[in-house]
A and B are shown apart, each in its own frame.
Chain A
Amino acid sequence: MNSPDERWWSVRAGEYVLGTLRGKDLELFERILAHDTSIQAEVARWEQQLTGLNETPREFVPGEHVLPQILQRVRSLNDEGADTNPDSAPDSISVESKNTGDNQSEQRVMKPGAPVRKFQVWPTLAGLATAASLVLGLLLVQQTTKQTTLPLSVDGLAVVLSDEDGKPFFLVETDYGNLRVRVTALAPPSLDESRDFQLWQALPDRSSVRPVALLPEEPGTSRTFHVDSLIDGSDLFGVSIEPVGALTTSGPTGPVVAHGDFLPKRNID
């Protein structure tokens, strides 16, 4: 744990094990934890190091009725042929609540006749991406950089958040030198088959937007795109829902569901 990022993640993992992460912080952490083995390892390390505090000075004895009730539950699980397979997540890492609230997002996105948001509203929404989200994103950059076959000289990133409740939908990494963008789906809502997510980038004066790419939908997957241009100095990305299959170039025709501040990577290091 030497770099600021590593320390930050170690602390975050420690807070998770302590149980002090709550609400959106907890939800965001668990989403990334579910996919990231290095963070899983860090959580496991804290769990092992703090477990000495489970040696309590005073012992309590459960009632005699508890064991029969447990055995009854275990037997009924077996009798029902219920799925007794353990979760694929590591045993000691609690990730059960990681998808809490997704259905709400899904309903919102698929709702017919949802109002079309204009990009002019973005500036008022900008600034919602927290430093924590950006650092979370940076770690993910490091993870995805390890996995990709296309080397990407990442010089900027944005965590694209839901514009209503701040949930992280996508991570955008830019490589200005090589005109490339890599987008990783973090936890976007489900889309109708006839729709795609499309990434847009605002012009520096926010007067207009340029299309960038259609986005992956499955959490944890990344795509790298070559783009004709990247706008130096632009600091805002947004995602809209568009008809499936082809890049919409004239401007968003569907609802803008997420946006994110761009941050040059050098400002984080």
Chain B
Amino acid sequence: MSNTLPVKDGNGQVHDQRLTELLARCNQGNESAFEELYTLCSVQLYSVLVRILRIEAIAEEALQDSFVKIWQKAGTYTPAAGTPMAWMSTLARNQALDQLRRRSTREANESADLPGYIDSIADLAKPMHEMSEDARPLIQCLEKLPEHARNCIVRAYCEGYSHEELSAQVDTPVSTIKSWIRRGLISLRRCLDELS
């Protein structure tokens, strides 16, 4: 593996330029670049998948599918699609959501929170000071939302919950959950536009 750039910055974030370079080499069929990409990104992507799918064996399958897709689509990545890690996270997340949708309901053992893991919203995302620079506006804007809307949006995104699952969790009608999320998204967009 060749390291032409430092791989991580002071916060442990993988450098975008390095990942962009690796994706470009994957597109040329370079397997060692693919392995390096896996080494640098698999933990973060896998963590996203475990948070949604809950069962590590299922998350590992989804991780495999995600990296095969990354290999296939590496040539289509452009910075316009966001950072390389954001692009790969979206691919992985969509893989997990597709799995959830195909199964329509979670098994009983998937419904329970992972022990000692997701007990509160604070467990779903890093504390603000540990967040990357890019993520801070989002967290600032989320903090301005009413708590119920923020909880629904964060749990839907981070854990893949449907309206119905959120409704059952907070014992509130589905129509109210939808309304909270929609109003929350409008406020979030307005806030993010202002900050940008």
Residue positions of A touching B, CB distance < 8 A? 1, 7, 10-11, 14-15, 17-20, 22, 26, 44, 47-63, 66-67, 69-71, 73-74, 77-78, 84-87, 90-92, 94, 96-97
Contact = CB atoms under 8 A, between A and B. Distances in A.
B42 A67 contact: yes
Contact of A57 (B29, B123, B189, B192): B123
Given A49-B192, A91-B76, A19 B157 contact: yes
Task: Kindly list the 9 A-B residue pairs having the minimum CB-CB distance in the complex, ordered from nearest.
Answer: A52-B135, A94-B94, A51-B86, A14-B185, A48-B82, A86-B73, A54-B89, A92-B90, A52-B138
Nearest to B154: A53
B156 A66 contact: no
A56 B43 CA distance: 10
B82 A50 contact: no
Interface string B75-97: 11100111101110111011001
Contacts of B81: 44, 48, 90-92
Contacts of B181: 15, 18, 20
Contacts of A66: 42, 60, 63-64
Nearest to B74: A86
Interface string B42-72: 1110111011000010011001100110011
B153 interface: yes
B158 interface: yes
Contact of B63 (A7, A51, A62, A87): A62
Nearest to B97: A19
Given A19-B156, A86-B72, A10 B189 contact: yes
B135 A70 contact: no
A83 B121 CA distance: 42
Contacts of A52: 125, 131-132, 134-136, 138-139
A5 B137 CA distance: 25
Contacts of A50: 138, 157
A178 B139 CA distance: 52
A55 B83 CA distance: 13
Main secondary structure of the interface of B (DSSP, over half): helix
Nearest to A18: B156
Contacts of B71: 74, 77, 84
B64 A96 contact: no
Given A55-B132, A62-B46, A94-B97, A19 B63 contact: no
Given A18-B153, A59-B47, A51 B82 contact: yes
A87 to B, nearest CB: 7
Contacts of A10: 185-186, 189
Given A18-B156, A53-B158, A91-B76, A59 B87 contact: no
Given A51-B82, A52-B125, A67-B38, A11 B186 contact: yes
Contact of A55 (B73, B131, B193): B131
Contacts of A47: 82, 86, 90
B184 to A, nearest CB: 9
Contacts of A74: 31, 34, 67-68, 71
Contacts of B29: 78
Contacts of A44: 80-82
A130 to B, nearest CB: 13
Residue among A56, A67, A73, A86 having the largest count of chain B Cβ atoms under 10 Å: A56
